[in-house]
């Protein structure tokens, strides 16, 4: 028999992730890949599995503790033949690992001498996030061991600063914005106060930062999807027998991927005075869950067919609703689609998911009379709403991109050309 330490595997860019559930107890016998604890990241929950079969000797964490890659979570006793030769390094996931040609964010530099003089204690990830938010770590109270500033400390400080930005001390882009005054709503009638979900609390600062720092413009157009939808219905009938559905969103992802190849500026990110043009197309899809929106990613959408994209969507959507998205499922997006087609609406302005430079919003399609040169004929029209970063994309480019996207959607054969 051997005793091994079970550590948190690679969980992407996440650090100081809270433990929200202990699934096992000392003395429990577990199989390999059996879940041990549940963590909750900014966007979803994830279970950490056991790399081996054996008996749990002890747990090294409790509910409320924060962990990062490499943190010991349990000690297990296992047969020598089953003991791993080294600690696992791959993230737990139920989907194939995301491809790795994507340029990653630059590694966070080591703490500077100035940081050391100030006595700042924070992980490289927290330091990098502080630089992105333009927050002085010296002004943040740390709740971690020995006063270390955690990600939660930083985001909480950022939110409070955003609310008090009227004095000019708020986050980037927020200086001079007067705060919304506090109102005692109970004097007008009965009220109930409920906390925001964790997803909404943590995504709020990101959305606020994007809205303040990205000069948004929204361009509206529409696509005639009459023929495309007829073809989609044919494919969907066959897909039902195999246990998945083919929706309009699958075609939009494929069409958007083709349009991004034609107009690479919309598949880029702004970095200082340079533009990072990405030679891969990973498309994020906003998914509605009981706790708020999450954005899983369909990787290499330009290389996949409609059926494969549809299967990916079904898998990602199910994992999102169940809170089982892994870190790799939500990383690397170059462009995002937010679809309200199943609900309704005629137009909206989606917020650019920085550091992306554009996002496509779609609402419910509707039958409309369209002039064909001789008479008005009924056609199924889909509204398209493209929000973009005007520092990178000008109005003419946005109009060309959206028109090209509509052109692709009007004849499904063009998508594969």
Query: DSSP labels for 207-224?
Result: HHHHHHHS-EEEEEEEEE
Active site residue 390: yes
Whole-angstrom CA distances from 138 to 19, 116, 125, 134, 135 are 27, 11, 16, 12, 9
Distance from C-alpha of 89 to C-alpha of 82, rounded to nearest angstrom:
17
Residue 131 per-residue DSSP state: H
Whole-angstrom CA distances from 273 to 82, 109, 154, 267 are 53, 21, 27, 17
Residue 243's contacts (CB-CB under 8 Å, 6 or more residues apart) are none
Q: Are 200 and 194 in contact (CB under 8 A)?
A: no
Tokens for 194, please give them.
């409920």
Tokens for 236, please give them.
């969907």
Type and span of the H or E element at 252? helix 248-262
Distance from C-alpha of 259 to C-alpha of 109, rounded to nearest angstrom:
36
Active-site residue, from 206, 390, 404, 407: 390
Distance from C-alpha of 51 to C-alpha of 34, rounded to nearest angstrom:
8
Q: Of the candidates 323, 338, 304, which has an alpha carbon nearest to the alpha carbon of residue 40?
A: 323
Type and span of the H or E element at 370? strand 366-371
Whole-angstrom CA distances from 414 to 67, 71, 249 are 48, 50, 17
Whole-angstrom CA distances from 81 to 1, 5, 51 are 9, 16, 13
Handedness of CA 327, 333, 337, 338 (dihedral sign): positive
User: What residues act catalytically?
Assistant: 390
């Amino acid at each position: 028999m051997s005793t091994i330490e079970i550590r948190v595997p690679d969980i992407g860019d996440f650090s100081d992730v809270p433990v929200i559930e202990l699934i096992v107890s000392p003395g429990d016998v577990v199989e390999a890949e059996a879940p041990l604890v549940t963590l909750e990241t900014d966007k979803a929950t994830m279970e950490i599995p056991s790399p081996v079969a054996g008996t749990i000797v002890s747990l090294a964490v409790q509910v409320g503790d924060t962990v990062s890659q490499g943190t010991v979570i349990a000690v297990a006793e296992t047969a020598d033949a089953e003991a791993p030769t080294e600690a696992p390094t791959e993230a737990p996931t139920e989907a194939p690992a995301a491809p790795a040609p994507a340029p990653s964010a630059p590694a966070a530099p080591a703490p500077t001498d100035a940081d050391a003089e100030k006595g700042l204690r924070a992980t490289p990830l927290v330091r990098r996030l502080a630089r992105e938010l333009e927050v002085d770590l010296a002004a943040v109270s740390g709740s971690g061991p020995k006063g270390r500033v955690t990600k939660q400390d930083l985001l909480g400080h950022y939110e409070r600063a955003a609310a008090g930005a009227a004095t000019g001390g708020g986050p980037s882009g927020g200086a001079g914005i007067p705060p919304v005054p506090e109102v005692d709503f109970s004097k007008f009638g009965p009220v109930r106060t409920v906390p925001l979900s964790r997803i909404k609390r943590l995504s709020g600062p990101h959305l606020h930062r994007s809205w303040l720092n990205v000069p948004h413009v929204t361009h509206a157009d529409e696509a005639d999807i009459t023929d495309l939808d007829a073809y989609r219905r044919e494919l969907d009938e066959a897909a039902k027998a195999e246990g998945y559905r083919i929706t309009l969103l699958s075609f939009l992802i494929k069409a958007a991927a083709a349009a991004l190849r034609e107009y690479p500026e919309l598949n880029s990110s702004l970095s200082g005075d340079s533009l990072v043009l990405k030679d891969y197309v990973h498309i994020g899809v906003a998914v509605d869950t009981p706790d708020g929106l999450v954005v899983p990613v369909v990787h290499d959408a330009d290389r996949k067919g409609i059926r494969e994209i549809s299967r990916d969507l079904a898998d990602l959507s199910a994992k999102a609703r169940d809170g089982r998205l892994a870190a790799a499922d939500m990383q690397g997006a170059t462009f995002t689609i937010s679809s309200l087609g199943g609900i309704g609406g005629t137009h909206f302005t989606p917020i650019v998911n920085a550091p992306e430079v554009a996002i496509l919003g779609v609402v419910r399609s509707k039958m409309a009379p369209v002039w064909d040169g001789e008479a008005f004929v009924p056609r199924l029209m889909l509204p398209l709403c493209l929000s973009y970063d005007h520092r990178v994309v000008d109005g003419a480019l946005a109009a060309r991109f959206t028109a090209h996207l509509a052109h692709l959607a009007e004849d499904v054969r063009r998508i594969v050309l």
